[in-house]
Amino acid sequence: MSFPCSLVFQVNRSQPQLITPAKPTPRETKMLSDIDDQEGFRFQVPFIIAFKNNPSTLKRKDPVQVVIREALGRALVHYYPLAGRLWEGHNRKLMVDCNGEGVLFVEATAGVTLEEIGDAIQPPCPLLEEFLCDVPGSDGILGCPLLLIQVTLLRCGGFIFALRLNHTICDAAGGFGELDFGWGKPAFSGPAKALSPVSFYVQHKKEKEDGILVAVCLPLKSMERFQQEFKRMTCLETLEILNNNKPAKIMSML
């Protein structure tokens, strides 16, 4: 189903709240690896996960938002660095202050069904601002919550689980496609915005292989710098003369 431009609906949100670990956690500082604290990784990544209505859950005492909120608090006991804050040390080295301040959580309801939303749930999702509240002062890299979650109950009984994570502390959320809160697997799970990965194919001969494809995904400015450095470091003209091979850049169609 394509996105109907005339679709208008209201979203009612509760006040954002900080969810802290359900039990005391270690107060310590953890240094990020040299890979994770690169300048090119210092950005936020939004994801949207959609769940259909599951009639078997109608007998549940608590609404979905309450169940997820409480589960989040318990999960943070084991993943307590996510409840901390990032700071910079010497030479801009990133570190996590595991202070247990918590992650941001927003409960919401929306007067729309998953069927009415249709393909608009896919990237680039035009409804992102409805399903993921940009809490003022929360979108920074340093001193801000590392995770923002909004759970929106839909008119059909399904719900949208949207989150924004700090990429320096979390990898891509590919595993969320298997996420099951007891409502079954998601009807959709993926990034809310299309990124612009660039792939480099380098020819070589090794047994039955003809080459290797290396996918790289960075923010736009970092990607432009990467392409410049890649060209300089590999000396394309020299490689072409010596090996009669030339890496080919393949732009993603996302």
pLDDT in tens, 102-114: 999 999 999 999 9
Strands 147-154 and 103-110: parallel
CA dist 49 and 46 (Å) reads 10
Looking at the predicted structure, is the pLDDT value of residue 148 above 90? Answer: yes
Facing residues of 216 across strands?
198
What is the reported pLDDT for 215? Answer: 53
Sign of the CA dihedral with 70 first, then 75, 76, and 78 last: positive
What is the reported pLDDT for 206? Answer: 52
Facing residues of 36 across strands?
none
Facing residues of 89 across strands?
none
The DSSP secondary-structure symbol of 40 reads G
What is the reported pLDDT for 155? Answer: 92
Average pLDDT over residues 51-66: 73
Count other C-beta atoms under 10 Å from residue 217's C-beta. Answer: 15
Distances (CA, A) of 158 to 111, 118, 124, 161: 11, 13, 21, 10
User: What does the chain come to in residues?
Assistant: 254
Residue 251 pLDDT class (50, 70, 90 cuts)? very low
Residue among 116, 119, 144, 135 at smallest CA distance from 43:
144
Looking at the predicted structure, is the pLDDT value of residue 162 above 80? Answer: yes
CA dist 133 and 66 (Å) reads 18
Looking at the predicted structure, is the pLDDT value of residue 204 above 70? Answer: no
Give the chain's mean pLDDT: 78
Architecture of domain 11-191: 2-Layer Sandwich (3.30)
- Strongest mean pLDDT among 53-62, 163-172, 201-210, 229-238: 163-172
* Token pair listed for 234: 């590999």
Looking at the predicted structure, is the pLDDT value of residue 145 above 70? Answer: yes
Please give the model's pTM, rounded to 2 decimal places. Answer: 0.72
CA dist 223 and 195 (Å) reads 11
Average pLDDT over residues 40-63: 78
Give the model confidence (pLDDT) of 13-49 as tens digits: 999 999 999 999 999 999 998 878 877 778 888 889 8
Average pLDDT over residues 231-244: 52
Residue among 169, 175, 149, 170 at smallest CA distance from 160:
149
Average pLDDT over residues 182-197: 66
Average pLDDT over residues 114-133: 88
Q: Name the residue ranges covered by the structural domains of the chain.
A: 11-191, 198-251
